[in-house]
Amino acid sequence: MPYINLPEEFPGIRSLFMFRPETAAPLNALVQTLLHNPHPTLSAGERELIATYVSDLNTCKYCCSIHGAIAKHQLGNNAEIVKQVLANPETAPISSKLKALLKIAAKVQSGGKNVTPEDVAFARNEGATDIEIHDTVLIAAAFCMFNRYVDGLATWQPDNDELYDKMGEQRAREGYLTAPFKVNRDQEQLQNP
């Protein structure tokens, strides 16, 4: 049960955004820029994988589930790659550059000062550019905040993979600046707002 009086028909961070639209606007703009807008070199799916991986490390069920679903849709409806990254990025079928960036993201998740010059040099040796390193650190840091925001107020986080998949499909297609999904908590059925 949420610690504050949140709109019951919206799960996770969506309920927090409905509760406080003034803070939702800049947070949605940030995530739109980080994950959805065109990027010089990292695909939206790769950026969503970074957010998913950090959310998994933070044990944030809502963020890991929703961003994993978005990543799946951004990566050609490939759920297996998301599962493999979460199980072990080192053996997942992703580029060596993305593996190096995920190592940096994991270091940021455990504490920003844990990122070393060697981590950055390794990522560069794998082909990572300064903007990719920068954006990886920013995505990881932002998702530590988002994860703590969602879990720190005990938001409702459904146990329904199909629901996350449908929400993920919408976010992958439309981005983060569109209307949120409403969910019937009893039936966990999707309704258009």
Q: Which strand (E) or helix (H) includes residue 134? A: helix 130-152
CA dist 127 and 124 (Å) reads: 5
Look up the pTM and report it.
0.93
pLDDT score, position 8: 87
pLDDT score, position 14: 94
Please answer whether residues 168 and 14 qualify as being in contact, where contact means their C-beta atoms are separated by less than 8 angstroms. Answer: no
pLDDT score, position 192: 42
Please answer whether residues 139 and 47 qualify as being in contact, where contact means their C-beta atoms are separated by less than 8 angstroms. Answer: yes
Q: What is the pLDDT of residues 52-95, one digit of tens each?
A: 999 999 999 999 999 999 999 999 999 999 999 999 999 999 99
pLDDT score, position 178: 80
Which two structure tokens, joined as six digits, stand for 127? 């082909």
List 191's β-bridge partners, or say none.
Answer: 182
Q: Please provide the CATH number assigned to the domain covering 38-176.
A: 1.20.1290.10
Mean pLDDT of 45-52: 98
Q: What is the pLDDT of residues 108-139, one digit of tens each?
A: 999 999 999 999 999 999 999 999 999 999 99
Of 10 and 180, which is predicted with more confidence? 10
Cα 69 from chain centroid (whole Å): 9
Alpha-carbon separation of residue 5 from 16, 19, 26, 133, 153 (angstroms): 10, 8, 22, 38, 10
pLDDT score, position 193: 41
Whether 143 has a pLDDT exceeding 70, the answer reads: yes
State the burial class of residue 182 (Cβ atoms within 10 Å of its Cβ: 0-12, 13-18, 19+): middle
> Where are the domains positioned within the chain?
38-176
